[in-house]
Each structure stands twice: as C-alpha cells, then as structure tokens.
C-alpha cells in the first residue's frame, strides 16, 4: 500500500496502459477462438471459460486502479488517522489482534499460489508448445511466439497486480474491522461529554472511510461474484464427468478451490467488519451512562440508535458481499451445475 502512494512516473503509466491494451487484444483473440471452434469438447469450453474469466478479472481490476486512482490514494491517506492498537494498553492491544493473526498466513498462501500458477502458465509454451491461455492466433510459428510473449508479459504484470489488489482489499476491510473494535472499547469506557464527542467523531470517520471503499469496489465485486459463479459451474461439471481424463479433473478441483479461496478474500473481511460495527450499540450500553446527568443519558441514547445502522457492502448494488453471500454463491454455483448436468 505504501508503494501505491508513490508518485507515478511516465514509465509506470505507460506500463499500465500498454498492459491494458494487451489485455483487450487477448480478450478479442479469445472470443474469436470461441466463436470459430467447431465440435467443442468440455475441455475446450472449460479452457475458454478460464481464459475469459482470468482476463475479465484482470481488466476489471486494472480499470478500477486506473479510474479510482485518486480515491484509493485518499483512502490510504485516511489510514494515517487510525487509532494505534495500544491506545488502551497492551492487554486490549492483544485482544484487537485476532484479525491480523489470521490474515498474514492467508495472504502468504495466496501469494505462493499465484506464483505457482504464474510459473506453470509461463512454462507451457516452452514445455508443451501451448499458449498460457487458449486463444486465436494467425497461422505461422512466429505468431505463436509473438502471442506467447504478449501473454507472458501480461500474465507476469497482472499476476502481481491482481495479488496486490486482492490483498489490499482484504487488509483495508480487516483494518476497518479492527478500528471498529477499538472504537467499541472506547464506547464502553466513556465517562463524560468529551469522551462521547471523540467517539462519535471517530464513528462518523469510520463510516465515511467504509463508504469510500464501497464507492471504489462496488462494480468490481459484482464482476468477481459473476466470474466465480460461472467458472465454478464448469469446474464442477468437469470434476464429475467420467469421460474426461484424471489430469483434467484434478485441475478442475484445484481451480474451483482457488476460485472459492479468492472469493473468501472479499467476503470474510467484510463479515468481520459487520460483526464489529453491529457490536457498537452493545458497547455503548456498557459505559456507566446510568450514573451521569440527563443530558449525557439522552446523548448516549441517540448515539446508540445511530450505531445500530448496519454497514452494507453491496456488489453492484444488487446484493450484500458478506459471509452469507459466500455461502449463497457456493450454493448457487452448485445449483447451476446441477441444471447444466441435467441438460447434458
């Protein structure tokens, strides 16, 4: 995230736009490949879907970084105003770090998975004389290596961009959850109007922070959900298709696990955030408000009502992106898979 705040040079901007241009070319070649292939097998369909899904994700994430570049810099600058973990002492600090303990290991596992996937894809032209992602290429050996070089350059740049994008999303929402956890501790320790004003101001600040995050990620979350839902359907279909070879079926299992793992990157941090924000009203009621004057009691009552407002992270404005959405998307992909299997 610190690297994102650096001043972009002309070379940095050129890399982004050239890579985005390459992605658009590859998108067109993949669509041409799909439309011109006859006697399509399940493997052809699955390979095409994987290619479309991968480049759709890359396109959406890089477009988000380009369009919302200024907003993301403002969001990262706002994190400088976050409270320190030891604001209420070392004991409370240890309690707050239940989320950071799980995220580094999860992000590390995701990073190594991205590196392994990138390595396998970039070695395919050399070892198997196959493109990293199936697409249409003109006749001739030279064009094969030209398209391979474009795909490898794009995959190398986009793999690290996608990883950084996903990790930044998870870390920002997890950090927001931790700040709500600290705020709830402050709510439970309120003793006077000064403490109440400080907590209310910080509560408004955190809501504005989450709103800015939602304004940046709302469309991307819809694309991510649709991509995961559609791709896992074909992967599930391949897993149980007895006519396909074992290698392809194992690949389908690993690919489906990777998709669900990636989806959890967006659903679970939002769930942590919602848990902590909904606990604010309970934390407010824990302060010794009953020993204070009537004005303080009225203020606490108003703040408690405001704190009951639920934080909503919606994918494209259609549905909430939380742990229930993760379960719903898993169930929906299985339902669509059952429908496709019955049609087949």
What is the per-residue pLDDT across 209-232, written as a single tens digit (0 to 9) for each? Answer: 999 999 888 888 888 888 788 778
Give whole-number Cα distances, 199 to 149, 188, 331, in Å.
Answer: 55, 10, 40
Half-sphere exposure of 208 (CA within 13 A, CB side): 13
The per-residue pLDDT for 212 is 92
The per-residue pLDDT for 24 is 66
Helix or strand or coil: residue 9?
Answer: coil
**What's the CA gap between 65 and 119, in Å, rounded?**
25
Give whole-number Cα distances, 305 to 203, 277, 280, in Å.
Answer: 13, 13, 10
Handedness of CA 88, 91, 96, 101 (dihedral sign): positive
Q: Is the CB of residue 154 less than 8 Å from the CB of residue 131?
A: no
Q: Is the pLDDT of residue 6 over 60?
A: no
**Angle 98-127/141-188 helices, nearest 10 degrees?**
180
The per-residue pLDDT for 208 is 93
Q: Among candidates 268, 265, 307, which has minimal Cα distance to 286?
A: 307
**CB-based contacts of 71: which residues, under 8 Å, 6+ apart?**
212, 215, 216
Task: Give how many domains the chain has, as a whole number.
Answer: 1
The 10s digit of each residue's pLDDT in 163-208 is 888 888 888 998 898 899 889 889 988 888 888 899 999 999 999 9
Burial of 332 (0-12, 13-18, 19+ CB in 10 A): middle
State CA 127 to chain mean position distance.
32
pLDDT-based confidence at residue 143 (cuts at 50, 70, 90)? confident
pLDDT-based confidence at residue 119 (cuts at 50, 70, 90)? confident
**What's the CA gap between 234 and 229, in Å, rounded?**
9
Q: Is the CB of residue 321 less than 8 Å from the CB of residue 217?
A: no
Max Cα-Cα span within the chain: 85
pLDDT-based confidence at residue 33 (cuts at 50, 70, 90)? low
Q: Is the CB of residue 20 less than 8 Å from the CB of residue 62?
A: yes
pLDDT-based confidence at residue 97 (cuts at 50, 70, 90)? low
Q: Is the pLDDT of residue 96 over 60?
A: no
- Any bridge partners for residue 314, and if so which? 320
The per-residue pLDDT for 36 is 61
Q: Which domain holds residue 59?
A: 3-343
The per-residue pLDDT for 3 is 46
**CB-based contacts of 251: which residues, under 8 Å, 6+ apart?**
none
The more confident residue out of 29 and 210 is 210
The per-residue pLDDT for 157 is 78
The per-residue pLDDT for 118 is 80
Q: What is the mean pLDDT of residues 150-160?
A: 78
The more confident residue out of 38 and 21 is 21
Handedness of CA 120, 125, 129, 132 (dihedral sign): positive
The 10s digit of each residue's pLDDT in 35-85 is 565 556 666 667 777 777 777 777 788 888 878 888 888 998 999 999 888
Rank 92-101, 125-134, 287-296, 333-342 by mean pLDDT and report only the highest: 287-296
The per-residue pLDDT for 200 is 92
Helix or strand or coil: residue 319?
Answer: strand
DSSP 322: S
| Average pLDDT over all residues of the chain | 78
Q: pTM for the complete prediction?
A: 0.82
Q: Among candidates 58, 52, 51, which has minimal Cα distance to 21?
A: 58
- Any bridge partners for residue 319, and if so which? 315
The 10s digit of each residue's pLDDT in 238-292 is 777 656 567 677 777 777 888 888 888 888 888 888 888 888 888 888 888 888 8
End-to-end CA distance of the chain: 47
């Amino acid at each position: 995230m610190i690297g994102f705040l650096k001043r972009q040079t002309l070379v940095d901007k050129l890399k982004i736009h050239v890579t985005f241009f390459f992605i658009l070319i590859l998108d067109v070649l993949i669509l041409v490949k799909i439309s011109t292939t006859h006697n399509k097998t399940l493997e052809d369909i699955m390979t095409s879907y994987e290619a479309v899904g991968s480049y759709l994700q890359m396109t959406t994430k890089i477009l988000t970084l380009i369009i919302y570049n200024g907003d993301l810099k403002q969001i990262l600058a706002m994190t400088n105003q976050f409270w320190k973990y030891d604001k209420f002492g070392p004991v409370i600090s240890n309690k707050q770090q239940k989320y950071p303990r799980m995220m580094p290991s999860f992000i590390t596992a995701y990073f190594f998975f991205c590196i392994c996937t990138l390595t396998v894809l970039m070695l395919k032209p050399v070892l198997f004389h196959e493109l990293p992602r199936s697409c249409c290429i003109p006749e001739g050996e030279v064009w094969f290596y030209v398209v391979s070089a474009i795909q490898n350059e794009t995959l190398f740049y986009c793999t690290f961009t996608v990883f950084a994008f996903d990790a930044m999303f998870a870390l920002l929402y997890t950090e927001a959850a931790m700040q709500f956890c600290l705020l709830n501790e402050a709510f439970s320790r309120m003793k006077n109007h000064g403490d109440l004003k400080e907590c209310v101001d910080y509560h408004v600040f955190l809501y504005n922070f989450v709103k800015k995050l939602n304004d940046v990620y709302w469309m991307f979350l819809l694309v991510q959900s649709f991509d995961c839902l559609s791709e896992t359907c074909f992967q599930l279909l391949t897993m149980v298709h007895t006519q396909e070879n074992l290698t392809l079926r194992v690949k389908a299992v690993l690919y489906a696990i990777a998709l669900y793992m990636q989806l959890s990157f967006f659903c679970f941090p939002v769930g942590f955030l919602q848990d902590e924000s909904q606990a604010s009203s309970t934390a407010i009621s824990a302060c010794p408000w009953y020993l204070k004057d009537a004005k303080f009691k009225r203020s606490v009552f108003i703040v408690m009502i405001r704190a009951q407002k639920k934080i909503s992270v919606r994918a494209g404005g259609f549905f909430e992106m939380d742990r229930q959405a993760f379960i719903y998307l898993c169930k929906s992909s299985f339902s669509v898979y059952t429908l496709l299997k019955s049609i087949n």
